[in-house]
Amino acid sequence: MKTSHNRKIKGNINLNSIYGITLMSLTITIIILLILAGIVINMLLGENSIIKYAKIAKEKYENAAEQEVLEISKLSNEIDNYVPQ
């Protein structure tokens, strides 16, 4: 009686080809991950990057904070100099 090392299911489908990752699927997965990594790096470090917008927002915040301090000191001086009639 002969036994086959490759078990077969439903027709000509080889059971051994169902399990495992093929080299083609592994290559495609790596290529997709590299494309996604390139997109993320471009979003972080590119011309219109998130980091650039964060630096701009930080500068605007610091300028607004300085203006607020000046405005508060100006109003504080006006209050101190106010003399009721």
DSSP H or E run through 38: helix 23-45
The full set of domain ranges for the chain reads 8-80
Q: Which residues pair with 8 in a beta bridge?
A: 14
Q: How far apart are CA 79 and CA 56, in angstroms?
A: 35
Q: How far apart are CA 47 and CA 44, in angstroms?
A: 9
Among 17-26, 28-37, 38-47, which is the least confidently predicted range? Answer: 17-26
Given pLDDT bands bounded at 50, 70 and 90, which one contains residue 85?
A: low
Q: Mean pLDDT, to the nearest integer, of 5-30? A: 70
